[in-house]
Amino acid sequence: MEREIYLDNAATTKALPEVTAAVVDALENTYANPSSLHRFGLKSEKILNNSRKIITDYLGVKTKEIIFTSGGTESNNLAIRGITNSYKNRGKHLITSPIEHSSVAELFNALATEGWQIDTVNVDHGGHVDLDHLRSLITDKTLLVSIMQVNNELGTIQPIKEIAELIESINPLIFFHVDGVQAFGKIYSNLSQWPVDLYSISGHKIHGPKGIGALYVKEGTNLKPLIYGGGQESKLRSGTENVPGIAGLGEAVKKLTHFSKEITADRYLAQQKEYLLESLQQIEEVVINSPTTGAPHIINFSIPGIKGETMLHALERQGIYISTGSACSSKKKGSRIINACGLSQARSESALRVSLNKNITDSDLDYFIKTLKKQIDFLKLF
């Protein structure tokens, strides 16, 4: 095998050396329970406090508004279940999109079987939410709207600020949850200014540890917990906190680029994405599925006539690792997301996702393109 190139960073990322060091240090030297009252326990509690402050400073929110969880899936479930369990007397109408992560989509399916009315807002071929349709769906019975900021397969960026302001202008009592897992650390967000009530993040998408994440819960939002016990995390997430994971998450957030209205995305990633897009568009058999203006780290494309899984394994044998879509649903036939955007079944079944990190070079991308072309020519023979 000539070389190995990892292009599946939307599924998970390699932990930074500083993250690994922080995790090991906590395991070896700060292993006391942070709920213990003795001095050793207070050292562990300090790690929690420090990491929580790092995250709140990055997001521009209050320290008490961050709840540590096991990752994006739990954050999404806590946000949605927490609201529906706590405020169901206000109304049993929920709105989401057809291209949400499985941790949101499957939960909404479950809520539908429990008697909740679920409406799904239309999206275009690029996965963008139809704001006029969203406006028409909102009623006085609507309790919650849940829309992801960056789609995990297409890289589509939703206009979260506009959506939040639209919801607030119609019914300010509606809660707005945003799955920010693929957006956090990649593009500009401003939770201190946008009327967002709940925002999910995950550590292993930003070169942090697996098994750790967080949920932003706007002050004044009352959730019912999913897990009961010792009352940790402001009584919203009982159980001894994952101190090593939290230590690693804090270190990962320290390394994130800070964005603004002027600099809305990671410039290096955006450059690499543009370089790769230009190269892919020169391959006759390739059709790009991602929208032109999407997240800087995700490109989704199809090679109609060649199954995505077939190409994935062909590239794997050459040391290149990509995805057929979300790692949480990659074993299912075709892409639920591509189908929901109204694209053809041929594109859905041949869809591939490349997701970048800051260590990817032009040389890596050249090797990927060269290998992809060879594998297309080879597989077309069968």
* Alpha-carbon distances of 319 from 333, 361, 364, rounded to whole Å: 24, 15, 11
- For 29-92, the DSSP string reads H--S-TT--SHHHHHHHHHHHHHHHHHHHHHT--GGGEEEESSHHHHHHHHHHHHHHHHGGG--
In the beta sheet, which residues pair with residue 5?
Answer: 320
Angle, helices 102-113 vs 72-87, to 10°: value is 30
* Alpha-carbon distances of 273 from 100, 206, 230, 277, 354, rounded to whole Å: 23, 17, 46, 6, 9
Say how far residue 150 (Cα) sits from the centre of its chain: 7
**How far is residue 182's CA from residue 76's CA, in Å, rounded to a whole number?**
13
Catalytic residue among 256, 283, 328, 379: 328
**Quick one: CA torsion of 325, 327, 330, 335, rounded to 10 degrees?**
-30
**How far is residue 192's CA from residue 190's CA, in Å, rounded to a whole number?**
5
DSSP 261: S
Strand order in the sheet with 287-288: 287-288, 298-302, 351-355
Indicate if 328 belongs to the active site. yes
**How far is residue 304's CA from residue 347's CA, in Å, rounded to a whole number?**
6
3-state helix vs strand vs coil in the chain, percent to 5: 40, 15, 45
DSSP 284: T
Within the chain, how many helices (H) and strands (E) appear?
12, 12
DSSP 15: P
Among 103, 84, 66, 105, which Cα is nearest to 213's? Answer: 66
Q: What angle do CA 367, 210, 33 make, to 5 degrees?
A: 155
The set of catalytic residues is 328
